[in-house]
Structure 1
Amino acid sequence: MIIVNETTIAEPAIMAEMQYHPAPDKRAAMLKAAESLIIAELLKQRAMALGLADAQQLQDHSPASQDLVLDLLIEREVAIPTASGAECLHYYQQNPQRFVTSPLIEVRHMLLPAAPDNDAERAKAKQLAEAILLELNQAGDFAKLAANYSVCSSKDNGGLLGQISKGQTVPEFERQVFKATPGLIPYPVESRFGLHVVDVLRRIEGDVLPFDAVEQRIRDYLNEKVRRKAIAHYIQNLIGQAQIEGYDFALSGSPLMQ
C-alpha cells in the first residue's frame, strides 16, 4: 500500500497497472507501476487544486486523459523556452553526420537459402558460400555462379540488385553491405534468408542536406528535448513537495531522480 498526500494507492491497483509496464522481473514491473500511479495521482491532485480539469477527466485513468491533465498543468505552471534560429544552426554545425542523405550502393549477390533456426542448413550454406568466394577470387564468373546457385530472382540478371539505399533491405544485410568498400565482400553475409555472396560494384556517398532543409526538424527535436526535461523537472518538484509513504523515488532507480 502507498499513500500519496493522504490518498491511498492499494496493492490491487498496482498489480493491475503492472500489465502496462514490461520489465525483466516482477519487482521491476511493480516499481514501474507504482511510480506511474503515484505520478498520476500527484498530477490529479495538482490539477484539482488549480481547478484545471473536471471530475470526469480526473477519474479517467487512460493515458490520453493523463496526458491532457499534464498538458494543462505544463501550460499553466511551466515556461518552456523554444529553440532559436542560432541554437538550431549551432546544433546543425555540431552534428553534420545527422544531416546526410543515405549513400547509394550498386550491388550484385547470390542468395544461398538457410532457415535462421536450422544450424545444419546454415553451416552447409556457409561452406558453399566460401567455396563460391574462392572460385570468384580465382576469376570465376559471377553471373554464371549466380544462375547456378542463387535462389533470388536476381539470378536471371547476373545477381544484380541495382542501386539500393538504406532501408530497402533487411537490417542485418544492410549493416554489412553499407560498411563494405567496393569489391567482393571476402566473407559470406548472413541474413534471416540465408547466406549471401555479395559484390559491391559502386558506392555513391550521401550529400549533406542544407540547413534550410532541416531547420524545422532540428527545431522540433530541440523543442521536444527541452519539453521533456521541463516535464521531468516539474514532476520532480511535485514529488519533492508531496508526502509519500510506502515508496521511495530516491531508492527506486527512477530516471526522474537522476
Structure 2
Amino acid sequence: MNTMMLDVARVNGVPLHDPDETLDPTTLRQRACTELLRQAAVSAGFDDPQAADAIERLLDRELNVPEPSEDTCRRHFEAHRARYGVGERLALRHVLFAVTPGVDVQALRQRAEALLFELRCADPDGDAFGAAARQWSNCPTGADGGDLGWVTRDECAAEFAREVFGKDTVGVLPRLVHSRFGLHVVEVRARDAGVAPAFDAVRAAVALTLRQQAWVNALRQYLQLLAGSAALDGVTLDAADTPLVQ
C-alpha cells in the first residue's frame, strides 16, 4: 500500500486532509466529526450544496431535545445562582500557551500542566505567577505579569468565560482553561459577584442554557453512534468531541 495513503486520516474512505497537511489532534477530530455528519446527511437525503445547511437539517430531525420543565429550571437556578448574576467582575491573571499552526499540542499541554502544578504549589507570599507569565505567556499581558485587571463576562471569549465566571474559586484554578487562543493557566485574584436576580427575571436564560446542554449531550450520543458504525482510519473519536459547539 502507498505509504502516503497511510498518512492521511479518513472517514469511510473519505480523506480529511491533504497528504502534506499536518493537523493538530483537536482539529483532526473535529474534521472527522463534521465528515461523519456530512455523510449521514447525504445518506438521509439532505444533499444540500451547503454542507453546513444539510447537517443542520439532519440534526433538527435526529436530535431529540426536550423542553426543560419549570422545576428543572428552578433547581438549576438555585444550584448556579452566581452564573446569572448581573455585573459580575473578576480580577484575573493568566499565562497563555498559544495554539498556533504547526505547534505540538501535546507537548504544549504538558508544559502548561507542569506550570499549573508548579504555580498551585508556589509560595503564596511570593510572585511566582507574575514571574511565570513574564517568562512563558504568549499574551502581551505577560509583560505585566499576566494581569488582565477587572474583567466582565462580556469582555472575555465565551468559552473562557464559561470556565471562570459563575463560580466561587479564588486563586490559581485547578485545571487549564481552554479557549480559541490556546491553553490558559488562570489565577482569580478577586471576585465581585454583582447582583443576583430573581428567578423570574432569568427564566428564559436558564431554559436556554438547559436546552443547549441537552442539545450538546444529544449530539455527542449521535456522533458516538455514527462513529461506531464507520470505518475510521488515522483518527480516534471520543464522547467529548462536539465540532459544532465551540
Q: TM-score, length-normalised on structure 2? A: 0.48
What TM-score results when the alignment is normalised by the length of structure 1? 0.46
Q: Which has the larger radius of gyration?
A: 1
Q: Larger RCO: Structure 1 or Structure 2 (Cα < 8 Å, ≥ 6 residues apart)?
A: 2
The structure where helix makes up a greater share of residues is 1
